[in-house]
Structure 1
Amino acid sequence: MDEEDDDPVVAEYDVYITPEVDDQQLYVLQYLNRPPDQPLTQATQSQPSELRIKPESGFIEVDVPINIHQNYNRTAGVRWGEAMRKTKGFGQKAFGIASGFERTMPRSTTRPGASEGAPAAPIATDDDDNFEEYVTHFEDANEKGHVLNVQTYGGQIMHDDGKGPSYMLGTFRDNEIHLTRLNGLVQLRTQFHHLDASAQLEAVNRRREKESQEGAKPAEPKAFLPQVKKTGGDTPAELNQAFMKSTNQEQWSRLNYHDENTAVAFETYNERLFLSDTAAAPKLQSRLNNDEFLDTISGKGGKKKATAKHGADDLIEISDESDDDDEEPIVS
């Protein structure tokens, strides 16, 4: 009496692998702390306003609009928005690890030898004469860039280093599944750049107050002692320091972001993620029979053991074609 199969086949698909394109970089962005029922799309009024990348260091940041008209603290929004605006005003291009944890501090104009064009140290946001006006005329302040109105997600690309698994992106069409190799994964988390900017602005204000009380120290000549630097730089600490320095110096590359429902997105989806000529696709061939295949995926190596449902001579067919008719049957 035939026993009912406890693992029935419910669907079958023809599998195709798309060819790699030199100028194509395909990444999957995973938003770890954002609910799946809140996608970043135009339909949900949360389409990213900017996407930027540092290709060499692999850092990616995505700015997503915040609804400033619902459950929003206007006072805090102006305070953080002004902190971001002022720190960027004197040269801060990035925050956190994407900047190598470096801070760009304004050069004091009271210090002897300071350049005439150097930005002056800003005053604290709460001491700004316009702060209350920004809160009162909130909509106008938001349009002029005084309000924090975006949420930033950031992460670093995890490239395929050849040591771990190689991920592929699958797209379905009828009874076909097309696999495209990923260049990497990016796990994005909420970034608190506004807090970094606030702390940086406080440090600038402390230095400004100290110089106003003690006076700017005049530039004094310093003794110069030449030293021979040891070659190498291959210790973990030195490599990390060099990476942070290069990350700070690397400039952002800003990308165009297209919503998933735009014509450009659909054209790119059909062009990049599907094999155009499936009839001419080469056949995938394998030289493993059933037992060898099962032993391989189970980690048994070369051990052979006949299964109850398949004999040792049974073959798993992948292709009906073979380059050599004299060869043993191939399996897939």
Structure 2
Amino acid sequence: MSPGVIYDDNDEADPVLAEYDVFISPELSEQIYLVQYPNRSRDQPYNDRTNSKPLEVRIKPQTGFMEVDISTTVYVNFDKTKGVMWGEALKTAKDSNIHAFGMAAGFGKGSRPTDIHIERAGRRGGRGVQTEIANFETANQNGNVLNKQTLGGQIIQPEPGMPLYMLGAFRGNELHLTQVAGIAQMRPQFHHIDAQSQIVKSRLAQHRASKEAPRTGEPRVVQQIVKTTGANGEEFQFTATSEFMTKASEEKWTKLRYHDEDTDEAYQVYREKLFVKDTAGAPHLSSTMNNEQFLDAISAPKFDPSTRTKRKPLTKKDRVEQANEEAISAAQAAPTVARDDQSR
């Protein structure tokens, strides 16, 4: 990164060290997301250099959910028993066509506990787990071991009145800005525990169904409306939340193609998408605000937490009138004090 213009800082307390020509890239047809990993240190990124390259990246564009699968080692600090048990649970769920868990799946909305076929899981009892552990390498290759970590989050898109984030790329004395379509914070997901819980519910549901006698008569449709009352007595209905959960459960994952940051493909996209090609013909931006209006626009709105009404400051005329009123009041009270003294 080379600066544009260097200034001498001998005459200024806060000098300008460099100036850059700023360009705003045109809106892209592709979506650019800022993906953050709050539980991962900056010096340990998920890439090929740290042996933690993402195995798969998937997204639900309509509801905004994103998940990343990260490979984990199964030979150091790894519980093989739990690895096989949870790996079997995930494989059983996927064999039953269940590929999403948690909020991204609408918390199971629209699915029944009997949707999971537990015949395969029933055969994998304690003896089956021990067999897989004895042949651990083969079990790991066959996908029967939990050998990956899933990170997930929901994409937060910019809203009116909220900050707008942009990516900056330097080229010589040029700064090119590209708008970010959304931000997602990726945190560990526990899909293996959800899958195991689903299997337990399936077993209980099938066991209960086998003992119940067949019901007679026509089935009845019962509609439940969940309501709650706010602080002011108003009623809230969870219609919007329910519709969103249904939409999330019905939307299918879209797999994305991942390129490591050090690959030629990543650098090619970086050069093609994040820079204005025709800098000489780019239109010049002109502001319609003066300095004071600009500061008001980027500043937070004024807010007084006090409920008391503040008095307006007194003018010179108000202070003179107030002083005259105080003098008249003092003069009127003086004879009364004199009469009191004479009576004594």
TM range (shorter): 0.7 to 0.9
- The residue that corresponds to 1:9 in the other structure is 16
Q: Distance in 2 between matches of 1:143 and 1:122?
A: 19
Q: CA deviation at 1:200?
A: 1.3
Distance 1:120 1:203, change over 3 A: closer
Asked whether the equivalents of residues 60 and 155 of structure 1 are also in contact (C-alpha less than 8 Å), the reply is yes
Distance 2:208 2:270 in 1: 58
- The gaps in structure 1 that reach 5 residues or longer are 109-117, 302-332
- Aligned partner of 1:278 in structure 2 is 279
The two structures have a TM-score, normalised by structure 2, of: 0.74
Q: How many residues align?
A: 283
> CA 1:184–1:207 in structure 2 vs 1: closer, same or farther (change >3 Å)?
same
Counterpart-to-counterpart distance in 2, 1:238 and 1:290 = 46
| Structure with a larger share of its residues in helix | 2
Q: Which structure has the larger Rg?
A: 2
Distance in 2 between the 1:121 and 1:300 partners? 62
Letter in 2 for 1:275: V
| CA distance in 1 between partners of 2:14 and 2:91 (Å) | 60
Q: Report what 1:310 is aligned to.
A: none
1:18 aligns with 2:14: no
2:193 to 195, 198, 202: 195
Question: CA, structure 1 residues 158+236, in 2 after alignment: closer, same or farther (shift >3 Å)?
Answer: farther
| Partner SS, residue 153 of structure 1 | strand
Q: Distance in 2 between matches of 1:4 and 1:164?
A: 39
Cα distance in 2 between the residues matched to 1:156 and 1:53: 9
Overall identity of the aligned pairs, in %: 42
Other structure's SS at 1:43 match: helix
Tell me: CA distance 1:151–1:300, structure 2 relative to 1, closer, same or farther (3 Å).
closer
2:16 alignment partner AA: V
RMSD: 2.9
Distance 2:244 2:74 in 1: 37
Partner of 1:159: 157
Secondary structure, aligned partner of 1:158: coil
Alignment match, 2:81: 75
In structure 2, the CA distance between the partners of 1:124 and 1:150, relative to structure 1 (3 Å rule), is: same
Structure 2 regions of 5+ residues with no counterpart? 1-8, 226-234, 303-344
CA contact (8 A) 1:124 1:202 kept: no
Alpha-carbon deviations, 1:56-113, whole Å to 9, x = none?
11101111101112111111111111111112221212000000011644649xxxxx
State the partner residue of 2:330: none
Equivalent-residue separation in structure 2 for 1:294 and 1:90 (angstroms): 58
Partner of 1:182: 180
* Correspondence 1:220 to 2:221: no
Structure-1-length-normalised TM-score: 0.77
Tell me, in whole angstroms, the C-alpha distance in 2 between the residues paired with 1:148 and 1:299.
48
Distance of aligned partners of 1:224 and 1:271 in 2 relative to their CA distance in 1, 3 Å threshold: same
How do 1:1-332 and structure 2 match up within 5 A? 5-21=12-28, 23-102=29-108, 104-105=111-112, 107=114, 119-123=117-121, 127-211=125-209, 215-222=211-218, 224=220, 236-290=237-291, 293-294=294-295, 297=298
